Structure 1
Amino acid sequence: MKKYYFLFLISISTLISSCGKDDPSSPDPTTSVKVYTLSSVSNSKISGKVTFTKNEDGSTTVLLEINGSSTDIHPAFIYFNNATTGGEVAITLEPIDCDCESSSTIVTTLDDGTPITYEQLLKFDGHIKIHQNEDHLEIIITEGNIGVNAN
């Protein structure tokens, strides 16, 4: 009987200790991660997503993930304006290697050196385009609006 009583006390103390408030220093995942959809362009049948993650140092990790890509290495950029209007390159991202179909870039500035934060990226008037390869930048395989342009 003492054995069951002891197990009961351990179970209750574990339950109580696990029901405490969350650590206030840990980031809120709803405000530190934002995911946007990338849609197929020109019947490429390649789609994907881009994830913006706020880092502790104030930088943003931009993770591109696509599926159904070819054997090419795909250049990727964040452009000004929405995808329909188009615009100039704002941020050059790491190209996507066909083997892993993803790339990760730490962003702290636009290509012209202007600082940009995670919060500013979430409000950015822009879009992302992923291109067929370095030799055929005119061919867009997937794209998606980000920031204020996202649906």
Structure 2
Amino acid sequence: MLQLKFRFFKYLLSAGLVLAVVSCDEDSQDLGDFTGNEITYQLFAGSGYNNEGYITFKERKDKSIQAEVTLSNTQAGGIHPLHLHREPIAADGDLVALLNPVDGKTGKSLTIFNVLGDETAFTYTDLLNFNGSIKVHLDDGLNKDEVLSGGNVGINKMSDTNVVSCSDFSTDL
């Protein structure tokens, strides 16, 4: 009887181990809409603000890019325009893409895109080689030049991180 209990326990343990391995293997391979390529960049507080965070770009299987922003210390009711600019954050580079604004209540934004404002195709590989930066603005009204937070992306990831205002702010791309 003891030997029968031991065999049952041995089979039960083996079955559990097989299920655990299969479950882990399935989870690691199921990427859904994504390729598994992603990169995260830090967003630094703008002058006079304490809003920091990060932006993560994920490559989707359809070759579009999903941009996810998380920003700290935002206020409910605030809507903060989010832009991709040419040049490092310390420069006053041209605005090339409007991303969905950061919601002040959650501090989050999610955008899926595959073209710039001028309809030029833009892929994850293009992003990695891009001479650019991300800027989160206070608003799109009187304070549109105020940058709450920003950071370098692409080839500028290690460049100067001093955030400057945005005097070329225009939504006419």
Q: Structure 1-normalised TM-score? A: 0.88
CA distance in 2, matches of 1:50, 1:31: 16
Q: Which runs of 5+ in 2 are unaligned?
A: 159-173
1:12 to 14, 39, 51: 14
* Correspondent of 2:55 among 47, 50, 54: 50
Q: Supply the distance in 1 between the matched residues of 2:57 and 2:110 (Cα, whole angstroms).
A: 10
CA contact under 8 A between 2:39 and 2:56: conserved in structure 1? yes
Q: In structure 2, how many angstroms separate the alpha carbons of the residues matched to 1:25 and 1:39?
A: 34
Gaps of 5+ in 1: none
Give % identity. 26
* 1:82-102 Cα distance to aligned partner (Å, 9 max, x none): 111231011110011111111
Say whether residues 1:138 and 2:145 are aligned partners.
yes
Q: What is the RMSD computed on CA atoms of the aligned residues? A: 2.3
Distance 1:111 1:63 in 2: 18
Q: Secondary structure at the match of 1:63?
A: strand
- Aligned-partner residue type, residue 33 of structure 1: E
Q: Select the structure of larger CA radius of gyration.
A: 2
Per-residue CA deviation, residues 67-120 of structure 1 (Å, 9 max, x unaligned), is 101342100100001111231011110011111111111010011000011121
Match of 1:3 in 2: 5
Runs of 4+ residues over 6 Å off in structure 1: none
1:13-52 paired onto structure 2 within 5 Å = 13-16=15-18, 18-19=20-21, 22=25, 26=30, 32-52=37-57
Q: Which has the higher strand share?
A: 1
Aligned equivalents of 2:140, 2:151: Cα separation in 1: 20
- Whole-Å Cα distance in 2 between the matches of residues 81 and 111 of structure 1? 16
